[in-house]
Amino acid sequence: MECGLSRTPSLGKVEYAAVCSSRVTSAEPSAGEGDAAAQQKIRDLTDRLSQSRDQLDQLRRKLEEYQKRQQSNNGGTQSAGAAGLRSQIAQLEQQLHHQRQEFDEGKLGSLPPPRIEIVFPLSYRSENRFNISLRAEKDSDNVIARVNSAIGVERVTVDAQPVHVDDQNLFSIPARLLSTTGAARIEATDLLGRTATIEVAIARAGSAAPASDRPAASGAPGALGFGNYYALIIGDDEFRYWPHIDNAVNDARAIDEALRTRYGFKTTLLLNATRFQILSAFNDLRQKLGENDNLLVYYAGHGQLVSQIDRGYWIPVDAGLQSDTEWILNEQITDYLQIIPAKHIIIIADSCYSGILTRSSVETPKPELDAGLRLEALREMNKERVRTVMTSGGVQPVLDTGSGGHSVFANALLKILDQNTDLLEANRLFDAVSSIVITESTKLGYKQTPTYRAIVFAGHQGGDFVFMPR
């Protein structure tokens, strides 16, 4: 499915019109391959359980308000309204009980219980505790985690305090809260009432795991067989005919600095680039890169979808509004991805890259693998040819102005790249960035959901792009 995006400023934000396929996550219900009837029954019962749970939560909040009013009235007699709410709550709790029995009677209760995984930063498991290392000078780091559930998530708590879980089943915990407790207890409950519990401990200055147990995340990439790293970074603000964009150039400069100084990329930075300059840069990369190299292409600027032919374009600064003579067809970018010899290529677009995207998730090692096994898994993944794309949003408005003079997406990307201290697969980078973008855009009254996919017809074979901090 193709994905095109128009980026136009409006009232301090940038609006996008796009058609993007949604990312498949492990939260998608599954009752066995080919068992469509069982999958439909899971969805139906899950919907009913969710509706009952939402109604129950609303009634409990109303009851809490009644009780607060009663206390403010000097402990007056119980109102008929409060008694009625208690009766409704009891009925709904009984209804939930019967609905959960339907799961068990339909043998759907045999589906695996929920499982909690730490997405970012990298964690090291020691018995029943997950140890996480954070840079000592960073006080604003977040821990990003996910609940894997085939049925649905009822709630997640951290030390008995509820936390928000987004529609990707991701949730964020400020690291400062974990640091003050030494170890925090995270509990997830699915719609059947089954729970999963882990303990998470924070250590500063790299002391979360013995050095002998951790893979080296610094030094020359070639020492681990990952090749050299290159980046083409494009940021367009000043268009001749299209509306001005506020933060694309600032975003590109910041991404350029982060990749050069923190990850050792050899970068090419194009600001307010014409069609000729952009295509010339791709041609230069075709001549310069070798088959063991890695390439990141970052694009911040206007994009356009022509819905009649389902084609997407990047818009250089010299492109006209109506004539597509100077527009860059996304299929042309895909063609370059096929002929550039680099083994691993990722496009990160704060605009929507219109490539035909697969419906499968990008391969990545399990987050809690033993350090040595994880490094070996990454080396095996490194043998595959990678062609993937990460986009800032789908079919909804996407914010251009976030914090620090960057878009919401670029700000989240910079934050995770700065916090990271280990080998970082792009899939885990995406999960962490996506969680922040969804949370921050929701606070601003928008729903922005990034996507990450493999690109069809660009030669993707498997594996994932790996970032290696210095």
Q: Each residue of 444-469: pLDDT tens digit?
A: 777 778 888 888 778 787 889 999 99
| Cα atoms found within 13 Å of the Cα of residue 432, Cβ hemisphere only | 29
Query: 273-281: long-range contacts (C-beta < 8 A, 24 or more apart)?
Result: 273/234, 273/236, 273/316, 273/317, 274/316, 274/317, 274/318, 274/326, 275/316, 275/318, 275/319, 275/326, 275/327, 275/328, 277/316, 278/234, 278/314, 278/316, 278/328, 279/328, 279/332, 281/232, 281/234
Instruction: For residue 342, give every residue at least 6 positions away whose Cβ sits within 8 Å of its Cβ, in sequence order, or none.
Output: 227, 230, 285, 289, 290, 291, 293, 294, 295
Q: What is the mean pLDDT of the chain?
A: 75
- Which residues lie below 8 Å from residue 226, measured CB to CB, with a gap of 6+? 294, 382, 466, 468
**For the chain, first and last CA: distance in Å?**
37
pLDDT value for 423? 87
Residue 282 sits at φ, ψ, to 5 deg, of -65, -40
> With 60 as the cut, is the pLDDT of residue 246 above it?
yes
Given a contact cutoff of 8 angstroms between Cβ atoms, the answer to whether 148 and 391 are in contact is no
pLDDT digits (tens, 9 = 90+) for 153-177: 888 988 888 888 877 788 888 766 6
Distance CA 382, CA 187 (A): 35
Q: How far apart are CA 367 and CA 428, in angstroms?
A: 9
Peptide bond into 121 cis (omega under 30): yes
Maximum mean pLDDT: which of 76-80, 269-273, 370-374? 269-273
Task: Report residue 226 as tokens.
Answer: 């990952």
Higher pLDDT, 105 or 10: 105
Architecture per CATH, domain 115-212, reads as Sandwich (2.60)
Q: Closest Cα partner for 455 from 356, 385, 351?
A: 356
pLDDT at 219: 47
Looking at residue 250, its pLDDT comes to 94
Phi and psi for 33 in degrees, rounded to 5? -60, 130
- Domain 8-27+213-467 architecture: 3-Layer(aba) Sandwich (3.40)
Q: Is residue 64 within 8 Å of residue 56, measured between CB atoms? A: no
How is 277-303 classified by DSSP, letter by letter? Answer: HHHHHHHHHHHH--TT-EEEEEEES-E
How much is the average pLDDT of 241-248? 89
The answer to whether residues 43 and 29 touch, using CB atoms and an 8 Å cutoff, is yes
Nearest CA among 186, 175, 194, 168 for reference residue 112:
194
Which range, 42-46, 63-67, 241-245, has the best average confidence (pLDDT)?
A: 241-245
One-letter amino acid identity for 242? W
For the record, the structure tokens of 314 come out as 């990047």
Q: Are 49 and 100 in contact (CB under 8 A)?
A: yes
* Amino acid identity at 132: I
Distance in angstroms (rounded) separating the CA atoms of residues 181 and 184: 6
Q: Tokens representing 362?
A: 């990008």
What is the β-pairing status of strands 303-306 and 311-314? antiparallel
CA distance 267 to 36: 48
Give helix 36-72 / helix 80-105 axis angle, nearest 10°. Answer: 160
Percentage, residues of the chain above pLDDT 70 = 68
Torsion sign across C-alpha atoms 215, 218, 222, 228: positive
Q: What is the residue extent of each domain of the chain?
A: 8-27+213-467, 36-110, 115-212
pLDDT at 232: 98
Q: How confident is the model at residue 343 (pLDDT cuts 50, 70, 90)?
A: very high
Is 11 exposed, middle or buried, given 0-12, 13-18 or 19+ CB atoms closer than 10 A? exposed
**Higher per-residue confidence, 28 vs 49:** 49
